[in-house]
Amino acid sequence: MVVYEIAAQSFQDSNGDGQGDLAGLLQRIDYLTWLGVGAVWLTPIYNSPNHDFGYDIADFCSVDPRFGSLEDFDKLLLALHDSGIRLILDLVPNHTSDQHAWFGESRASRNNPKADWYLSAEAGANGGPPNNWLSRFGGSAWEWCEERRQFYYHSFLPSQPDLNWRNPEVREAIAATMRFWLERGVDGFRVDASAVLIKDDLLRDNPPDPEANDEKPPPQARRPVFTDDRPEAMRCIEYIREVLDQHDGKLLCGEVQGKTDRIGHFYGNSKPRLHLPLNFALLDSEWNAISLQATIDAYFNALPQGAWPDFVIGGHDKHRVASKVGQSQARVVAMLLMTIRGTPFLFAGDEIGSEQVPIPPDRVQDPFEKLVKGFDLGRDPERAPLRWDDTEGGGFTSGEPWLPLSRDRARNIKAHQGDRNSLLNLYRELIALRREEPCLLRGEYLPRRAQNDIFSFGRRMNDTEILVGLNISGEPRLWEWDGCGIRLLSTGPDCKQEKVAGSIHLKPNEGVIVKVIR
Ligand code: NOJ
């Protein structure tokens, strides 16, 4: 199942207010079906003051009016299901907006019924923050609350207070929001910031990061050992999974922090945790055959027995892959993503090679960019609205788009649909091939030695063996292997299925898929 991430705000506007909405998304279901995606992951659509792209939620069981209504949501869900597409929602259990009624109550005094629903602490010795913990978005992670004469903790913005997951009432309240959506029929969740749900109860200071220097953003000055990836956070994920498992056939993906070697941990041991801890290793890897070989090997090695892998090549927090590797290699990325063992995740626009869109300073929306300047951390460039056609509003809106669209008007869905050699059509063919070849879906992964700038691997299931050779360079390369087979697909234009024997001459930036004949 291919998972396609959609940020509703940037996908399709239906009412000319410059922001995408649910009715707009509904109009585009035919496109999703045409492309062949199996599931949509929708970023937050809930009521929110929208200080952080909707990840600051004021009511978990609602739809923000800028996206539509609950009725629109139900219509959308029904239409997706009728088209055989599942819907995964973002679940943000770590924090709420400071506009949430829970926080309004909690902050009012030290002894109201919700007083312990958020993380609060007494001031430090000098009247300053309780300890040295830093917010990801810059500065201390503690904010003074005058009403309680205490500090409260925020992993992200001060307007995103962290919930207290040690409090069973909080757990139950989040479980109730999950049930609200599960009973409406959603197919699962992507858990936001799952690794930071619990912070050290002794409030111990984080140690300095020995690798920190002036080139690293200030929020990374300390190693977050007492705030991130605490063992108790795993209990919280297990709890979320238990709630999910009370409904059949639902999926739990999750944002996890840290290095690849920690990822196995998020699958769970005696108790299950996430089905799919999201793996961004490809995006973090250097783009050459040797590095890819090491990155992918480290990832597979980190998986526990029986764990199902996944690979992510785009997301609303990540710079566009096409900007990283270039348009020619974007085709190779598509082939790698759709042929390697694991569930593929892509972000709307990746299928046409969308690139980072330059955002003029007066149009910047992302708080990360505003607060931690000079480190290229802004996420607006990848969040720019999708271009459906080459008109001024890109087929996205008839109004003023909330972020500028790409000026590369030719790179749009309509044009790519009409060009059989486009990246979009390559994605479509690859997705179709995954469906036709069970070996590409479920076959085991067979590592091969990267050589001559070619990253290659095999997949095997029963008697079927498929080989994939990816030329990661801009020069022609000889891909040497023994045996013969049928070339199923190439990233190059107008590839015909044909018989190949032994070594294959790969064109610059070419990838090929070969089904071995025995
Ligand atoms: C992770 C989300 O992906 C990101 O966009 C957001 O800023 C933070 N969580 C805070 O909610």
Cβ(91) to ligand 1 under 6 A? no
Does 266 sit in the ligand 1 pocket, CB within 6 Å? Answer: no
pLDDT at residue 482 greater than cutoff 90: no
Task: Specify whether 255 is catalytic.
Answer: yes
Q: Hey, which of 6, 10, 55, 191 would you mutate to test ligand 1's pocket, going by the most ligand atoms within 8 Å of its Cβ?
A: 55
Confidence bin at 509 (pLDDT 50/70/90): very high
* pLDDT value, residue 259: 82
Q: Is 41 in the pocket of ligand 1 (CB under 6 A)?
A: no
What integer pLDDT is reported at residue 94 of this predicted model? 98
- Tell me what pLDDT residue 487 has: 95
Domains of the chain are 3-95+168-428 (3.20.20.80), 101-153 (3.90.400.10), 443-517 (2.60.40.1180)
Task: Determine whether 158 is exposed, middle or buried from the number of CB atoms within 10 Å of its CB (0-12, 13-18, 19+).
Answer: middle
506 touches 492 (CB < 8 A): no
pLDDT at 342 over 90: yes
DSSP letter for 347, please. Answer: E
Say if CB 239 and CB 252 are below 8 A apart.
Answer: no
* CA gap 243, 179 in Å, rounded: 8
Residue 495: pLDDT over 80 = no
> From atom 8 of ligand 1, which residue's Cα is the shortest distance away?
55
pLDDT band at 339 (very low <50, low <70, confident <90, very high): very high
The alpha carbon of 263 is separated from its chain's Cα centroid by a whole number of angstroms, namely 15
In this predicted structure, the answer to whether residue 373 has a pLDDT above a threshold of 90 is no
Residue 215 has pLDDT above 90, yes or no: no
Nearest CA to ligand 1 atom 4: 317
Closest CA to 60 of 6, 18, 25, 103: 103
Q: Is 118 helix (H, G, I), strand (E, B) or coil?
A: strand
Place of tokens 């659509």: 45
**Residue of 5, 64, 255, 350 with catalytic role:** 255
Nearest to 267 by CA among 258, 257, 277: 277
Q: Find, among 55, 51, 25, 21, the residue nearest to 315 by Cα.
A: 55
> Across residues 219-237, what is the average pLDDT?
94
pLDDT at residue 376, as a whole number: 87
Q: What is the pLDDT of residue 216?
A: 86
Is the CB of residue 478 less than 8 Å from the CB of residue 503?
yes
Q: Give 465's pLDDT tier (boundaries 50, 70, 90).
A: very high
Q: What percent of the chain has pLDDT over 70?
A: 100
Q: Answer yes or no: is the C-beta of 137 below 6 A from any ligand 1 atom.
A: no
pLDDT digits (tens, 9 = 90+) for 29-45: 999 999 999 999 999 99
- Considering the chain, what is the average pLDDT of its residues? 96
Judged against a pLDDT cut of 90, whether residue 53 lies above it is answered with: yes
**Measured CA angle at 510 (ends 507, 512), to 5 deg:** 115
DSSP 198: -
How do strand 477-479 and strand 504-506 relate by DSSP bridges?
A: antiparallel
Least Cα distance to 427 among 416, 415, 438 occurs for 416
The predicted structure's pLDDT at residue 232: 96
Q: What is the DSSP letter of 160?
A: S
- pLDDT, tens only, 241-297: 999 999 999 999 999 977 898 999 999 989 999 999 999 999 999 999 999 999 999
Closest to 406 in 3D by CA, of 396, 416, 398, 414: 396
**Catalytic annotation present for 59:** no
pLDDT given for residue 313 in this prediction: 98
Ligand 1 centroid, distance to 83 Cα (angstroms): 29
pLDDT at 283: 96
Structure-token match 């690979």, residue found: 311
Residue 494 has pLDDT above 80, yes or no: no
Q: What is the per-residue pLDDT across 181-201, written as a single tens digit (0 to 9) for each?
A: 999 999 999 999 999 999 999
SS in 3 state form for 273-305? Answer: CCCEECCCHHHHCCCCHHHHHHHHHHHHHHCCC
Q: Does the pLDDT value for residue 327 go beyond 80?
A: yes
